[in-house]
């Protein structure tokens, strides 16, 4: 979940925590878009706000001692910036680092609505191939505990025709080989695609490989905490999952589902 520090989310972490308690969630976690050493784009927290981020999460923890509140970061995987991610990991007692791919080239974050026109420049197959190549690299980097929204590239509904498994395969193999988990995010239900990230086919292929999962809302406002979790739980149970993952001090623990 996010905080106002990224510039596109609203609400103090205490409001997210209050909503989580109201909805009966057993734990929550904050994972703001990671700061970069220098100005990078306009949708992440600035490095100068990092201590403020820690302070906001501590405030929520102090006010809701009955609710475990984990500390994480949603880190963009950018080739060449691996050292910075490693350095960030030493800056606080993190519970988890999420590897996220938004950028498929240095200037195109594929989920950015301001860059929708870019989709006309190249075939959807090429964009999808680039996207999943980047997610594969993120899995192989060894920097992350789990991956965010594995098929975010579908956000606006751009999708190749036919069987999508060839696009997914290398990414799934890399996640399995890395021994990391992946997110099943209800955020996609709030976007044009109106579908959970990742697709049911992707989740089925993950289950076949025994890849651990967790369910997230990617809340950018208190009301989005636990958004449509019933649908996500039903989906992963239908596929066969009986456990979810939780992260403490960057160690994964399994928790029974349901
Ligand atoms: Zn965000
Ligand atoms: Fe993201």
Sign of torsion, CA 42 20 190 96?
positive
Going from the first residue of the chain to its last (258 residues), give the mean pLDDT of each consecutive group of 10, the final group possibly shorter. Answer: 98 98 97 96 98 98 98 98 98 98 97 97 97 98 98 98 98 98 98 98 98 98 98 98 98 94
pLDDT digits (tens, 9 = 90+) for 148-174: 999 999 999 999 999 999 999 999 999
Please check whether residue 17 is in contact with residue 28, taking contact to mean a CB–CB distance below 8 angstroms: yes
How far away, in angstroms, is 63 Cα from ligand 1 center?
25
Query: Which numbered ligand comes closest to the C-alpha of 30?
Result: 1
How far away, in angstroms, is 21 Cα from ligand 2 center?
24
Q: What is the dihedral of CA 198, 223, 220, 197, to 10 degrees?
A: 0
Query: Which numbered ligand comes closest to the C-alpha of 41?
Result: 1
Query: Which numbered ligand comes closest to the C-alpha of 4?
Result: 1
- Is the bond preceding 13 in cis, omega lying within 30 degrees of 0? no
- Tokens (6 digits) for 60: 């929520």
The 3-state DSSP class for residue 16 equals helix
Query: What are the residues whose beta carbons fall under 8 Å from the beta carbon of 77, sequence distance 6 or more?
Result: 99, 100, 101, 134, 135, 137, 138, 141, 143, 144
Of the candidates 156, 110, 117, which has an alpha carbon nearest to the alpha carbon of residue 132? Answer: 110
- Tokens (6 digits) for 35: 């700061």
- Bridge partner residues of 97 (DSSP): 73
Mean pLDDT of the chain: 98
How far away, in angstroms, is 31 Cα from ligand 2 center?
10
Stated length of the chain: 258
How far away, in angstroms, is 44 Cα from ligand 1 center?
8
- Give how far the C-alpha of residue 225 lies from the chain's centroid of Cα atoms, to the nearest Å: 14
How far away, in angstroms, is 98 Cα from ligand 2 center?
9
How far away, in angstroms, is 152 Cα from ligand 1 center?
12
- Bridge partner residues of 250 (DSSP): none
The 3-state DSSP class for residue 245 equals strand
How far away, in angstroms, is 8 Cα from ligand 1 center?
7
Which contiguous run of DSSP H or E holds residue 98?
strand 96-100
The burial of 96, by beta-carbon neighbours within 10 Å (0-12 exposed, 13-18 middle, 19 or more buried), is given as: buried
CA 37/CA 50 separation, integer angstroms: 11
How far away, in angstroms, is 187 Cα from ligand 1 center?
10
- Tokens (6 digits) for 1: 């979940």
How far away, in angstroms, is 239 Cα from ligand 1 center?
28
pLDDT of residue 258: 72
Query: Which numbered ligand comes closest to the C-alpha of 98?
Result: 2
pLDDT of residue 42: 97
How far away, in angstroms, is 122 Cα from ligand 1 center?
25
Angle, alpha carbons 37-38-40 (nearest 5°): 110
Query: What are the residues whose beta carbons fall under 8 Å from the beta carbon of 29, sequence distance 6 or more?
Result: 1, 69, 70, 71, 72, 95, 96, 247
Give the CA count within 13 Å in the CB-facing half-sphere of 180: 28
pLDDT of residue 115: 97
């Amino acid at each position: 979940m996010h905080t106002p520090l990224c510039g596109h989310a609203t609400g103090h972490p205490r409001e997210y925590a209050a909503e989580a308690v109201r909805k009966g969630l057993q734990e929550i976690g904050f994972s703001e878009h990671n700061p970069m050493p220098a100005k990078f784009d306009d949708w992440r927290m600035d490095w100068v706000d990092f201590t403020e981020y820690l302070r906001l999460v501590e405030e929520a923890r102090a006010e809701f001692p009955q609710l475990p509140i984990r500390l994480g970061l949603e880190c963009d995987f950018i080739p060449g910036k691996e050292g910075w991610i490693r350095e960030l990991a030493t800056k606080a007692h993190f519970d988890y680092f999420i590897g996220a791919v938004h950028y498929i080239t240095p200037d195109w974050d594929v989920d950015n609505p301001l860059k929708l026109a870019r989709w006309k420049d190249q075939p959807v197959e090429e964009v999808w191939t680039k996207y999943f190549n980047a997610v594969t690299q993120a899995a192989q980097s060894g920097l992350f505990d789990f991956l965010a929204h594995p098929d975010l590239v579908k956000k606006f509904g751009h999708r190749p025709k036919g069987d999508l498994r060839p696009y997914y395969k290398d990414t799934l193999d890399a996640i399995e080989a890395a021994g990391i988990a992946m997110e099943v995010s209800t955020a996609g239900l709030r976007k044009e695609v109106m579908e959970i990230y990742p697709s049911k086919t992707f989740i089925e292929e993950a289950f076949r490989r025994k890849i651990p999962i967790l369910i997230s809302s990617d809340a950018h406002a208190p009301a989005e905490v636990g958004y449509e979790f019933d649908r996500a739980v039903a989906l992963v149970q239908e596929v066969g999952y009986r456990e979810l993952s939780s992260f403490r001090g960057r160690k994964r623990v399994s928790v029974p589902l349901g």
